Structure 1
Amino acid sequence: MLSTRCLSRATSRAPHPPQFTRAITRHSRPLPRARAIPHPYAQRRQQHFVRSVATVTVLFATGATWQWMNGNKIFGEVHAEEPPSQEEQNLKFEEQRRQALSEEDNRNIISSQHLQVQKSWENPGVYAWGSNSGRVVAPDSQETFIKTPRRIPFFDNILLRDIKLDRNFAAAIDEHGDLLQWGVAFAKDVTQPTRTLQGKNLKSLAISRDRIIALSSSGDVYSLPVSREEQMTGPKPPASSSWIPFWGSTTNNISYRIRTPENLSRGEKVTSISSGLEHALMLTSSGRVFSFASGSQDFPSRGQLGVPGLTWESRPQGAFDMAHEILTLKGFPITHIATGDNHSLVSDAAGRAFSFGDNSSGQLGFEFDAEAAHIDAPSLLPTQRLYAGSAQQAAVTNVFAGGNTSFLTIEAAKPNPTAPTPSQTTRVQADTWAFGFGLTGQLATGRWTHTQATPVKVPTFSGLFEYDEPANRVIPIRLAYMSIGTTHAAAVLDNVASVAVSPAARKSHALTPNDTNWGRDIVFWGNNEFYQLGTGKRSNAPTPTYINPLDQKAEDERSAGITGVAKAKRDREKEMHRFQITPKQRVKVAALGGRTVDMEQKVECGRGVSAVYSAV
């Protein structure tokens, strides 16, 4: 459709074409009657002229009608385009950001990650996502899936010591050391976390198929059923007095077993626990490892207890879930333990790793043998072979396991003759190795592998370095820890989590207006059938990937007051604003009555579910 300006120019300024002018001039003079014979070319020009005039008239009438119907003027003065002003000619690369209201607000504007850290301090709580078939990640909702992180309102402004998740039940320990449970496997009619085992000063948890294993600060290990009905009807321990009023009688109403090893030496206590579907490991302060049956349905039968020849038929007299010391590991001071569904890994202070249990997917780090599908005695992993030909000495620093997968973190180093001081004669390289089942991407190697018996390096977490400003040198980026679910996992990197600009601030640990807290990098990978990766999509991820910030509303508020080019730039960079998990720091929390606490955020991957919680 032509505009009014175009139509005006066409009718008032455009001259007639030359052929039209000649035709008009020629026929304006009358010819003598005797010679009044129409010229054929003149007749055609006249017809062409008439059609042209009719066409222009129709276009003008149509344009005028359209303008009239839309309430615009039909006629107006025709002007040339006005040149742009000097202000418009100046290029605007980015508009000035809004004025900061305070030093803290200035840091929020500078860094999206700093804002996340600030919000995690101001609003402690639990975010959960994934399968909600068991009313675990959203206890008060009937939704089948929670596709992106969502807060559980019950835990708002509550700090936790630990949390463990299954699709049908979950358990947590609050900052007072009491156990909370929820989910349909606990009680179908309960929609909120409920306190069960109290007054034991619990500090960490592990879960099997149908039981909860809890470790107290004093080193006592408790095993209790998931079901509230079994807790009420099952055998209860003898009554015991408690120095905390009214708590002794409450705990005696809960059915539980004490699984603390009986033959501990003086001063020795259990410091760590880990559980698979049917078995659990206990690590003591002396580096000894004990195992026991942690489930009620089936006795461990795949060698995951680490005791050669131990079966249901050959077990010693006593309770079926009594603790057994793994004597094969005597002489190796164990520092870390990990359990998958049906296999176990341990590492010692000298950097050695051992594995035992089910090896059907190569999760023990050895080639699968159909005639010996499992190994019932701890077997040394040849980790030095992974660095053959590199002149590096390798030492295992930690082990992780879940489902049918296993991970090792290894530090390798070789002499550096060009180092200026003897303390810098070695350059440490931190690597992560994976093995086991990886058909849904849970090995994090970028490949879909059914069986991976030989450990393969995970590129995302291997050979990373960063510059440490206070130390004035390049340091390796290690893994802080990993949380391995049944088919998916998460890893938190131990990267430098704050940027202090001024030397005085770095020395005093006090923030200046431009100093920022970045948080630690956290990534997720593996199976995403129940949206447990938190990406909002259902596709599996064979390589570690970032997710969006947990509190997207705060991200949107951060952009308030920004317009024009700056806003467009912020929108383009929105996908770059990733979730950064808050490291441990001593802070004053207004939501907790102004108390000063040492808190951090932690991640937990379970069976088709994930959570991030505020931990002490």
Structure 2
Amino acid sequence: MLRRSVARLPPQGSLHRFASSSARKSFRPRSYLGPTAGITLASVFCYYSTCTPVRNDAPQESREGVAPVGWNLPQTDDSVAPIVCGSNDHHVLTPTKSTDPIRAPAFTTWFDEKTALRHLALHEKHGVCADAQGDVYQWGDGFEATTGKRAPTLTLRGKDIIHVEVSEDRVFALSASGSIYALPSQLSDRTDWPPPPSSSWYDVSRVWRSAPLQGVILLKTDSREKFTSIAAGRDHLLALTSQGRVYAHAFNLSSNASGQLGYRKLDVPDPSSSTPLDAPRIPIELIPKSLKDPFAKATPQTRRKPTEATEELNSAISGGLAINDKLFEIPSLREVTISQIAAGGRTSFALTDTGRALGWGNNENGQVGLGSNVMLDTITIPTEIVLSRGAPSKSQTSCLNITAGGDLACFTVERRDNKLGSTPLVDVLMCGNGQWGGLGNNMFNNSQGYPVRAKNVSGLIEYSEELHKVIAIRPYAVSVSPTGHVLLALDTLKEAGGGVGGRDLMVWGTNQASELGNEKRSSVAAPTHLASSEGGERVMLRRKTVAEVRSLAGKVWKKNVTVEQRAVGGYRSSIIYWSCK
């Protein structure tokens, strides 16, 4: 009878619910159950009063070097190890054997505690970074999975790289001297790529440091201008020169499928030549799908199958694009001075020196931002984006920054009233696919053609003790991931003065693998503060001075270096690393 009464006990749960349920059972009109029920209740009460309850939202236990940590770290700590969270399906965040998502923020073991980085970019199956010395390292299953070696591998050395961009099969690196290098994303492809022509005599880096150049292509142009920034989409690359001219680079058949290049005609090296990079160039034309095949979305019964001649032509074009070593200027922007560029998955953006935003490329989800009246899926010519809708009629609107990723675009816009002494306000506008809350307006629209204001980060003001007036709180840095989540750092450190910890980190969007760092899996449709696990403090990106910074090779780069945290969104993942200049 005692065994029977214990078998009827409810599972582990809250104590008061269990006690009330057991008490009701003990008062059944059966005299032989009275003593046993009382003994059972007393025993279980003693057991549950001494055990520690386990909650569903309990922090993740440490496993194989992935120990959960808090977001906020002491400013006096000399450690500059990156913090990661989210999906680790392809060992991009950490080299552990397990591919389970990292629900709680954790240190990654890819880098040493003294290793700060110049720049970092994450893709779905591989990652790339430029260390403090300007050398490029790659890792992840998409880079090298056959040998089982998971440590970051040196792939470009001695070029003083300051910025890196990544796509599925390409890695692009921008040097401090203004040169752009292209590398394959997979280690096995390096032997298939032709070596670049010999460098000129004044390339000092080849004199004092040996640089492995097999599998590296130096991208060239018709001019001698230096490049200052690059931005890569899914299949194309944008580059900006010091003179404000915009160039684009194609490296596969989909590079202009949505008109994201801004041009159609280009020339590539003859792939049949034994020396491709020195071979005669052949002209090709990349026509967007919507123009080449207007009935692409028609039923399969009415579609024509490609002929063998078309397949052979596509194969030849693909072979030429694989070794394409040239950037071409966008013709429609030759007379326009551009100050910034940005690239989404299949879209391109440019910001003029007068504060006007231009966009072109894929517009299926309204990610170009031209409004609901524009029903075209493909925008082949850079078109101005009107950002003054919703602002007072007498105010002046100017775009300050553009950030894009996947099917989302983010615009930082300043609006000023004509009234004397009025405080300018700064808004964050979002457009594109907000199916998982990436628009930040507390809605889940899968298509938003006109940029809408993101809540909690737009129109913010604060009082400046230094200037003795009210000023606007501006975004310091924005990262839009290819999968639909956004990481935004508010510039709450510049004007706040001493005693402030850092820049507030706001997050929103998709959260299927806990990439927002809140240890949950539900999407967030409005910008939200992250709370640290130590004491409920809001998470801030910090800046500090460390005793020394080392390169990934283990050598001391500099001492007494000022570093700051930067947040980067990857494929269902996020990383906060320490940046050094």
Letter in structure 1 aligned against 2:565: Q
User: Could you say if the C-alpha distance between residues 540 and 359 of structure 1 is closer, same or farther in structure 2, counting changes exceeding 3 Å?
Assistant: same
Deviation string for 1:482-534 (max 9, x for gaps)?
A: 0010111100111136865xxxxxxxxxxxxxx52320001111111222111
Contact 1:219 1:271 survives alignment (8 Å): yes
* Matching of residues 271-282 of structure 1 within 5 Å: 271-282=228-239
SS of corresponding position for 2:143? coil
Contact 1:480 1:494 survives alignment (8 Å): yes
Contact 1:270 1:282 survives alignment (8 Å): yes
Deviation string for 1:303-352 (max 9, x for gaps)?
A: 10112678995259995343121121223211111111000111111111
In structure 2, which of residues 366, 369, 391 is the aligned counterpart of residue 387 of structure 1? 391
Letter in structure 2 aligned against 1:546: H
1 or 2, which has the higher helix percentage? Answer: 1
* Matching of residues 93-492 of structure 1 within 5 Å: 116=73, 118-119=75-76, 122-155=78-111, 156-188=113-145, 189-240=148-199, 243=204, 249-252=210-213, 254-264=214-224, 268-293=225-250, 295-296=251-252, 298-307=254-263, 314=285, 320=321, 321=324, 322-367=326-371, 372-389=376-393, 391-417=394-420, 425-486=421-482, 487-492=484-489
C-alpha RMSD over aligned residues: 2.9
User: So what's the TM-score if we normalise by structure 1?
Assistant: 0.69
The reply on whether 1:495 has 2:492 as its aligned counterpart is: yes
SS of corresponding position for 2:369? coil
Q: In 1, distance between residues paired with 2:419 and 2:351?
A: 27
Question: Structure 1 residue 611: deviation in Å?
Answer: 0.6
Question: Structure 1 residue 383: deviation in Å?
Answer: 2.2
Q: In 1, distance between residues paired with 2:86 and 2:102?
A: 5
Corresponding position of 1:609: 573
Q: In 2, distance between residues paired with 1:493 and 1:450?
A: 26
Structure 1 gaps of 5+ residues are 1-65, 67-111, 418-424, 501-514, 556-573
The reply on whether 1:598 has 2:562 as its aligned counterpart is: yes
Corresponding position of 1:530: 513
Corresponding position of 1:539: 522
Percent identity over paired residues: 29
Contact 2:91 2:140 survives alignment (8 Å): yes
Question: Structure 1 residue 150: deviation in Å?
Answer: 1.5
Structure 2 gaps of 5+ residues are 1-41, 43-69, 268-282, 288-316, 551-555
Question: Structure 1 residue 234: deviation in Å?
Answer: 2.2
Letter in structure 2 aligned against 1:598: T
Q: In 2, distance between residues paired with 1:582 and 1:133?
A: 29
Q: In 2, distance between residues paired with 1:474 and 1:164?
A: 36
User: Could you say if the C-alpha distance between residues 335 and 136 of structure 1 is closer, same or farther in structure 2, counting changes exceeding 3 Å?
Assistant: same
Corresponding position of 2:48: none
Corresponding position of 1:516: 499
Contact 2:440 2:453 survives alignment (8 Å): no
Q: In 2, distance between residues paired with 1:392 and 1:609?
A: 39
Q: In 1, distance between residues paired with 2:480 and 2:101?
A: 20
Q: In 2, distance between residues paired with 1:116 and 1:129?
A: 16
The reply on whether 1:589 has 2:547 as its aligned counterpart is: yes
SS of corresponding position for 1:396? strand
Question: Structure 1 residue 428: deviation in Å?
Answer: 0.7
Contact 2:181 2:219 survives alignment (8 Å): yes
Greater alpha carbon shift after TM alignment, 365-374 vs 399-408:
365-374
Q: In 2, distance between residues paired with 1:249 and 1:597?
A: 27
Pairs aligned (count): 454
User: So what's the TM-score if we normalise by structure 2?
Assistant: 0.73
Contact 1:308 1:377 survives alignment (8 Å): no
Q: In 2, distance between residues paired with 1:483 and 1:238?
A: 36
Greater alpha carbon shift after TM alignment, 443-452 vs 136-145:
136-145
User: Could you say if the C-alpha distance between residues 244 and 383 of structure 1 is closer, same or farther in structure 2, counting changes exceeding 3 Å?
Assistant: closer
Q: In 1, distance between residues paired with 2:374 and 2:396?
A: 33
Contact 2:466 2:495 survives alignment (8 Å): no
Contact 1:360 1:368 survives alignment (8 Å): no
Q: In 2, distance between residues paired with 1:496 and 1:416?
A: 28
Letter in structure 1 aligned against 2:362: D
Corresponding position of 2:28: none
SS of corresponding position for 2:456? helix
Corresponding position of 2:14: none
Letter in structure 2 aligned against 1:455: P
Q: In 1, distance between residues paired with 2:353 and 2:235?
A: 27
Question: Structure 1 residue 467: deviation in Å?
Answer: 1.1
Letter in structure 2 aligned against 1:126: P
Q: In 2, distance between residues paired with 1:545 and 1:371?
A: 33
Q: In 2, distance between residues paired with 1:340 and 1:190?
A: 31
